[in-house]
Amino acid sequence: MSDFRFERHALDGNARAGTFHTPHGVIPTPVFAPVGTQATVKALTPAQVAELGASLVLSNTYHLYLRPGHELVREMGGLHAFMRWNNPILTDSGGFQVFSLSGINKKDNDGVTFKSHIDGSMHRFTPESATHIQNALGADIIMAFDQCPEPYDRAMNELALRRTHEWLVRCQNAHQRTDQALFGIVQGGTFADLRAQSAEFVASQGLIGNAIGGLSVGESKADMHAMLEVVCPILPADKPRYLMGVGSPEDLVNGVMRGIDIFDCVLPTRLARNHAAMTRRGRLNIRNRTYFNDPNPLEADCTCYTCQNFSRAYLRHLCVAEEMLAASLLSIHNLHLLVHLAAEMRQQIQQGTFQPWADAFLANYTPTQKQT
């Protein structure tokens, strides 16, 4: 019997509430996964990540392969033991990073040769090696090695799609562990026909779960939504759907509305290090002079450790004084917001009240304008 099982509890429009069972525990869906790129969610202990309510954490194959090396992680008992996150972990394949982070890369049909962003040394990933590295890391969910091109370049997307599909089959053949679920990735840029073709191919592989890549990479929100509306109905309803690298509050709501179950993004922790707080109304730049003597928490009624304990005035002081605690406390709040937003959507779906709730949420939310 498989180590993995996806239960669907409720459907509300296209939004789904479920539970994904993995070898390291259950993931209630919809879910937002904090990103621990280098085997740590930046500025937080695993105890703090657990306390804010996370069930799934993402880590990064490209980074861990380069440093400290997947063989070391395997020798130390795998990624769960190494970083002391005993709940589910997902690793991405490194496909995105070899294109976006390494200054030089050379793609061919067999794989990608790339230059380390750390020391300039040359390395090569193939579907087989990216899968074997993830087998060594030992995450519960691992990702196929794919190619993610510019969203509006049709020729590149056609080429990348062929490779991504061929590579998916090679990843499946290379994959060695039944206690890890390999997810395939739908590509196709902003082209509905390519997205449909890709979703059909990925769906036909009978994987434990399926992912959508190549979104939130520069395309418009309207295009992102349109692509989700093409892809989600084609992907099997009884498998979890993961929208990679997406993580603003409004994107979570828009994704769930269209049938997405799993999200991850560096945004909440990156904003925290840049002293921005996410709220259900929009972002706050907490360094702003406005907050100098503001005794209120970041967000009224928020139950996170930060909001339960600290004023905006104190957080502003930490930011201005360049104290590391600013990043920790803002990361706790921002991650708590997204993790609990996902949990709230799950509840709304189970109650059958998701759509009006989502409409009200989006009406109150200002995505781009920062509050001051």
Number of Cβ atoms within 10 Å of the Cβ of 118: 11
Q: How far is the CB of 67 from a second copy (least distance, A)?
A: 6
261 is catalytic: no
* Environment class of 340 (CB within 10 Å of its CB; exposed 0-12, middle 13-18, buried 19+): middle
Does residue 348 touch a second copy according to CB under 8 A?
Answer: no
Residues 68-87 that bind a second copy (CB under 8 A): 68, 72, 75-76, 82-84
Q: Which residue among 105, 205, 311, 347 contacts a second copy (CB under 8 A)?
A: 311
- Could you tell me the smallest distance in angstroms from the CB atom of residue 124 to a second copy? 22
* Segment interacting with a second copy (CB under 8 A) among 137-145, 235-243, 249-257, 292-300: 292-300
Residue with tokens 């840029």: 189
Minimum gap (Å) between residue 310 Cβ and a second copy? 6
Specify the DSSP class assigned to residue 368. S
Cα separation, 164 vs 157, in Å, equals: 10
Q: Tokens 């306390």 map to which residue?
A: 51
Kindly compute the dihedral angle of the four CA atoms of residues 236, 5, 91, 198, in this order, to the nearest 10 degrees. -10
Q: What pairing do the DSSP bridges indicate for beta strands 15-22 and 5-12?
A: antiparallel
In the complex with a second copy, the residue whose CB is nearer, 109 or 308, is 308
Task: Indicate the burial class of 306 (C-beta count within 10 angstroms; 0-12, 13-18, 19 or more).
Answer: buried
Which tokens is 88 given?
């589910």
Paired residues of 209 in beta bridges: 183
Residue 76 corresponds to which amino acid?
A: M
CB of 82 to a second copy, least distance (A): 6
Smallest gap from residue 95 Cβ to a second copy (A): 21
Is 251 annotated as catalytic?
no
Q: Which of residues 320-339 bind a second copy (CB under 8 A)?
A: 320-321, 323-325, 327-329
Residue 39 touching a second copy (CB under 8 A):
yes
* Catalytic center residues: 92, 264
Residues near a second copy (CB under 8 A) are 38-40, 42-48, 63, 67-68, 72, 75-76, 82-84, 292-293, 295, 305, 309-311, 313-314, 316-318, 320-321, 323-325, 327-329
